[in-house]
Structure 1
Amino acid sequence: MSIQWFPGHMTSARKKAAESMERIDVVIEVLDARLPEASCNPMIRELRVHRQRPCLKILNKADLADPAVTAQWLAHFNAQKGVHAVALSCKKPGDVAKVVGLCRPLAPHRNDRLKPLRMMIMGIPNVGKSTLMNALLKKRVAKVGDEPAVTKTQQVLDLSPTATLIDTPGMMWPKIAYDSDGYMLAASHAIGRNAVIDEAVANFLGDVLLARYPALVAARYKLSVDGLDGPALVEAIARRRGCLLKGGGLDIEKASLILLQEYRDGAIGRVSLESPDSRAAMLLAHAEAEAARLAAKEAAFEADRESDAEREE
């Protein structure tokens, strides 16, 4: 199943962001530290590279992610031109207080009242942009919600006499190229529930957690994970938590939502759904599968052509 989600208001949000990009100095891109590359919108990179704007990548929710994997991602992003990456939690005032200071070296020519530093917060839905905005301003100016796409319009606000901030709506991109990215985004609640099947997402999440963090899963749900795959884990959770339908059958939907919510809340432990190495392996496998598909298509075409030629003879 391919997951796609691109609500109508995001088209206008992209257009507005492109217009604003011309008037800002630094892009603050907020990512989910548990899936940094999957939560990186390629349209944002396209816009900022076109305008040659430096980027502070914030790996938010770092307190929920595997710290060893996060360190790998920081090294990966900090090797990129025009990028400085940090890991923090937008819910921690001490972390947020560092953000403006981290942006200033990226645009050293904008540092006084005549030339205030102009920053724009960008990212996909539900990664913590509004939480960051409110924390920076020390007051509630942006809506914060548990559902993706709460913010739908831009806001321009003064942080200080020498710094201004634009908050933008969460933006997805029209086509998610890799199925695993769609599932990771759905598991992390960056995609609206109307676009996904919770059971399928929970099965995918279960497979990832069992492969990467079997001990955490076993400890959280007090069960043996030997031989389990994602669907079997969801069934085991249903039994363990008493998720039953009338008649005694397992309520798989309820158990799926338990697994998804406990991952989102960090109740299972500090986990990361992808690493730079796993990302590279996924891209390689995808490229090989695509090459095999094209080769099979070409072989089928050649076989049809030979068959046609034989019939003509």
Structure 2
Amino acid sequence: MSIQWFPGHMAKARRQITEKLGLIDVVIELLDARLPLSSRNPMIDDIIKNKPRLILLNKSDLSDKKVTDEWVHFFSKRLGFMALPIDSLSGKGVSKIPALCSGLAQPIMAKRSEKGMKPRAVRTMILGIPNVGKSSLINRLSKRNVAQTGDRPAVTKGQQWVKVGKSMELLDTPGILWPKFEDQEVGYRLAASGAIKDEILDYQDVAIYICRFLMKHYPNHLMKRYRLHALSDDPAEVLEQIGKNRGCLMPGGIIDFEKASELVLRELRSGKLGRISLEFPPQPLEEVEVND
């Protein structure tokens, strides 16, 4: 699968972020807990450079808890970033964010105080790829509906400042995808999670990828959800059996693979397949590129 998607509004968003970065004390990088590395935009490292950063692993209610704990360890111990699992919809973990940002901004605030400048709220910027839950998080933090939400990418189109109590101000930004996925596995994971517009996807291609992944890492989830007594070695045959068991049929009893594929994709994203992580932390010997 080859996905190239870099619409004009995303190039504009990158310029806007760069222009506003001088006003920011702490950058909040919002990632999908199910695929933390694949949902990290590598351009963001180049843009924000050495700004203090808080990494939030959102949608942690959908991810494998054990794997998410491993990701927190990976980011904190191996990359040196503070990381926190959250669920922006239920609010789990969200209340900790202002205090963590204040802690990260403390050296900046201390310098302001030394210069005789008046105290002010910590200014933060939230960055993340489309459909990772930025708007839901902002609404949860501000305790009001100030950001438009939707279960599809590219809902946020502009920038806005949002007050979070008296101690924090947050700059919302549109999600930014990068222009090319060098690793097609990244493209598949993003497609499976909903970060890429469904209109440009081949549902069956993505569903077969999901089936292959679940067959290897979460076979019991797959068998239990779709009442499969055994798993074929061929993910296409597994998808066919799912279609048969769930009544995804066309006239003549022919399997409707498109309908079966949409079903698998929808149920993975909604959590009906169980708590699943689509990506695991690299082993110690594997290198992860981080631009400081």
Q: Same fold (TM over 0.5)?
A: yes
TM-superposed CA distance for 1:110, in Å, is 3.1
Are the structure 2 counterparts of residues 3 and 25 from structure 1 closer, same or farther at C-alpha, using a change threshold of 3 Å?
same
TM-superposed CA distance for 1:176, in Å, is 1.1
Q: What is the aligned partner in structure 2 of residue 293 from structure 1?
A: none
Which of 212, 215, 236 aligns to 1:210? It is 215
**AA of the residue aligned to 1:110:** M
TM-superposed CA distance for 1:94, in Å, is 4.5
In structure 2, C-alpha distance between the alignment counterparts of 1:8 and 1:99, rounded to whole Å: 32
Q: What is the aligned partner in structure 1 of residue 85 from structure 2?
A: 87
In structure 2, C-alpha distance between the alignment counterparts of 1:141 and 1:98, rounded to whole Å: 20
Are the structure 2 counterparts of residues 5 and 279 from structure 1 closer, same or farther at C-alpha, using a change threshold of 3 Å?
farther
- When the two structures are superposed, what TM-score results if normalisation uses the length of structure 1? 0.85
Q: Does 1:64 align with 2:53?
A: no
**1:107 counterpart SS class:** helix
Q: What is the aligned partner in structure 2 of residue 124 from structure 1?
A: 129
Deviations 1:72-105 (A, max 9, x none): 1111111255521111111123521111111111
More helix per residue: 1 or 2? 1
Q: What is the aligned partner in structure 1 of residue 13 from structure 2?
A: 13
Q: Root-mean-square deviation (CA), in Å?
A: 2.0
In structure 1, C-alpha distance between the alignment counterparts of 2:92 and 2:65, rounded to whole Å: 18
Within 5 Å, give how 1:278-297 maps onto structure 2: none
Q: Which moved more, 1:154-163 or 1:63-72?
A: 154-163
Are the structure 2 counterparts of residues 280 and 179 from structure 1 closer, same or farther at C-alpha, using a change threshold of 3 Å?
farther
**2:178 counterpart SS class:** coil
Which of 246, 267, 272 aligns to 2:251? It is 246
Deviations 1:22-53 (A, max 9, x none): 2101111111111000000001111111xx20
Which of 173, 179, 186 aligns to 1:174? It is 179
- When the two structures are superposed, what TM-score results if normalisation uses the length of structure 2? 0.91
In structure 2, C-alpha distance between the alignment counterparts of 1:230 and 1:281, rounded to whole Å: 28
Q: What is the aligned partner in structure 1 of residue 194 from structure 2?
A: 189
Which has the higher Rg, Structure 1 or Structure 2?
1
**AA of the residue aligned to 1:71:** D
Within 5 Å, give how 1:1-313 maps onto structure 2: 1-49=1-49, 52-80=50-78, 83-108=81-106, 109-110=108-109, 114-277=119-282
TM-superposed CA distance for 1:4, in Å, is 2.2
Are the structure 2 counterparts of residues 80 and 104 from structure 1 closer, same or farther at C-alpha, using a change threshold of 3 Å?
farther
In structure 2, C-alpha distance between the alignment counterparts of 1:157 and 1:45, rounded to whole Å: 24
**AA of the residue aligned to 1:159:** V
**1:77 counterpart SS class:** helix
TM-superposed CA distance for 1:180, in Å, is 0.4
**AA of the residue aligned to 1:124:** I
**1:85 counterpart SS class:** strand
Relative contact order, higher structure (CA 8 A, sep 6+) = 2
What runs of 5+ residues in structure 1 fail to find an aligned partner?
A: 284-313
In structure 2, C-alpha distance between the alignment counterparts of 1:64 and 1:103, rounded to whole Å: 25
TM-superposed CA distance for 1:282, in Å, is 11
Q: Give the number of equivalent residue pairs.
A: 281
TM-superposed CA distance for 1:161, in Å, is 3.1
Q: Which moved more, 1:66-75 or 1:226-235?
A: 226-235
**AA of the residue aligned to 1:76:** F
Structure 1 vs Structure 2: percent identity of aligned residues? 44
Q: Which moved more, 1:122-131 or 1:88-97?
A: 88-97
8 Å Cα contact 1:214/1:225 also seen in 2: no
Q: Which moved more, 1:17-26 or 1:177-186?
A: 17-26
